Each structure stands twice: as structure tokens, then as C-alpha cells.
Amino acid sequence: MQHVFHGVKKYAAFILSAVAVIGFSSMAHSQPSAKAVAPIEVMIVGAYHMGNPGLDVNNAKVDSVLTPEKQKQLVEAVNRLATFKPNKIAVEMVANRDDMTTTDFDKFTPASLTTDANEITQIAYRLANKLNHKVVYAIDEQSKTIDYFPYNKVEEFAKAHNQESVLAPGSAWGAKFTADFEKAQKTNTVRQLLLNINSQQRALEEMNMFYYPLLAVGNDKAQPGAELNSGWYQRNAKIMAKLNLVAKPGDKILVLFGAGHNYWLRHFVNLMPGYKLVNVVPYLQ
């Protein structure tokens, strides 16, 4: 009898356990599932400065993009980018409205393409107009108190401390890239030029040949090379933070900045939760 009793207890315990599991399973299936949140798709498009502003360490002499042939090439490039179908476009400009949009786009007309060589007009505004966007977002970061790119301090320190040799490889790389670009624009279309400067190899080379070697400029009391790197990181981090202010789940955003921002902006988009980085290269091939 004792064995039978124990057997009954074990059987009863099994039945209760099974019922509990089935009940839990039923409850779990009856609960509404969490709705998947659509990622924010972002395409970073690095541009060269078509208006020749001369603001970089190495400044290429850019042929006029206002000629009929260059305008035709720009149409081709922008048509390729349009297939991404962005619902928002953001540019390298400081916002002058609280909603992070720029009043500069309000003044745009197709006639602007014949007079304004700036890449924001030629690519971003042209694309926004083509897609019937009402606004363009301005997410650049500038400061009157913070120097995000104190290259002059790096040069001064290097000269004063016999560290100019540290700068030489980066300077040579920049000079060669500039010369190659000036030569390439004689035979390559605007689309092909954009394709080249948006390659992953180009972004990595810039970091390896120019930015990171500057970490060696300094001593135990001052680190201007490290300060330049941290300043450049900080500016791009703030740009990403501003992008986040205008981005919503499900958005497809095209971001147009100078190609020197490619590495860090892609880094942030690629790693920030809720975002998906879209490679521009296939769109330009």
C-alpha cells in the first residue's frame, strides 16, 4: 500500500506540474506580443566641397559644377541617391529653427542650381526638391568656445618640440589624395568621384594616415594631438546627437556631410541602438 500511495502521489504531482506548465504556456501565448520597432535607416553620403571654400587642411581645386556637363552628371548622381527614397535629408549646416530645419532651403528654386556651387545645394537641395520634401534638416555642430579641430596648435607644438616628422606622412597622404582627386575630376563623372571618396578604404586610410598618428604629437605636459582627435570625435558625436533629435523609428534619412566625417558618423549610426547604417556605395555604382 505504501508503494501504491507513493505512486499515486508522484502521478498527482506530475499531473499538477503538467497542468501548471500548460496553463503558463497558454497565458504566455495569450499575452499580446511586443510590437517590433522599425529601425531608423541612415545613409551617410560624404561629399567633396564643390564651392571651393578652402576650409580644409588640404584643399583641392574643384572644377566648376555649374557647367552643363557637370549639371548632367549631378542629375545622374542624385537620381541614384533618390532610389534610397529618404523621407528626411540632413546636411552640414547649423539649424536656425527650433525644429532643426534650415531656412536656407526655403529660398531654394531650381534656378539656384545654376548659380550656387555648394554641395548642399547641388546634392541635398536638388534631391529634396526632386522628392518634394518641404524641409531639410541642419544638424552640424559649431562652437564659438570649442575648437573641434585645433590643427594649428598641433603644428605649433610639433615645430617647437622637434616632432614635425610625425606630421609628414599625414601631410604627404593628404597632398597625394588632393592631387589624385584634381586629376580624377578631369576624367571621372561626379558620381564616380563621390563613389571613390565614399569607399570604406578611404575613410580608414584617413584615420590611419592622418588622425591617429597625431596622437604621437605631445609630451608629459601637453597632448595637442590627442586633443585634436578628441575634439573631432566630440563634434561628430554631437552631430549624431542632433540627428537623433529629428529621427523617428521607420525613417529613412540621407545625411550629406564633407567626406572627412564619414568614419565617425558611420561609426555612430552603425553602433547606436535603433539605427541601421545603409551603405551608399551600391547606390553610386
The pLDDT, as a whole number, for residue 5 is 40
The three cell numbers of residue 13 are: 504531482
Q: What long-range pairs does 166-172 form, CB within 8 A, spacing at least 24?
A: 166/213, 166/214, 166/216, 166/217, 166/225, 167/213, 167/214, 167/217, 169/209, 169/213, 170/209, 170/210, 170/211, 170/213, 170/214
Name beta bridge partners: 258: 47
- Per-residue pLDDT tens digits for 129-149: 999 999 999 999 999 999 999
b vs e for 69-83, b when ≥16 Cβ sit within 10 Å of the residue's Cβ? ebbebbeebbebbee
Q: What angle, 0 to 180 degrees and rounded to 10, lies between the N-to-C axes of helices 224-246 and 262-271?
A: 50
- In this structure, what C-alpha cell is assigned to residue 171? 601631410
> Residue 209: exposed, middle, or buried by beta-carbon count in 10 A (0-12, 13-18, 19+)?
middle
Answer left, alpha or beta for residue 81, where phi above 0 means left and psi between -120 and 50 means alpha.
alpha
* Residue tagged 572644377 (cell numbers): 63
- Residues in Cβ contact with 119 at an 8 Å cutoff, skipping those fewer than 6 apart: 47, 48, 49, 50, 51, 256
**In tens digits, what is the pLDDT along the chain, a chain of 285 residues?**
444 444 444 444 443 444 344 444 444 444 555 578 899 999 999 999 998 765 555 567 899 999 999 999 999 999 999 999 999 999 999 999 999 999 999 999 999 999 999 999 999 999 999 999 999 999 999 999 999 999 999 999 999 999 999 999 999 999 999 999 999 999 999 999 999 999 999 999 999 999 999 999 999 999 999 999 999 999 999 999 999 999 999 999 999 999 999 999 999 999 999 999 999 999 999
Phi, psi angles (nearest 5°) of residue 276: -135, 120
Q: Which residue is it, cell 597632398?
A: 175
Contact 191, 284 (CB under 8 A): yes
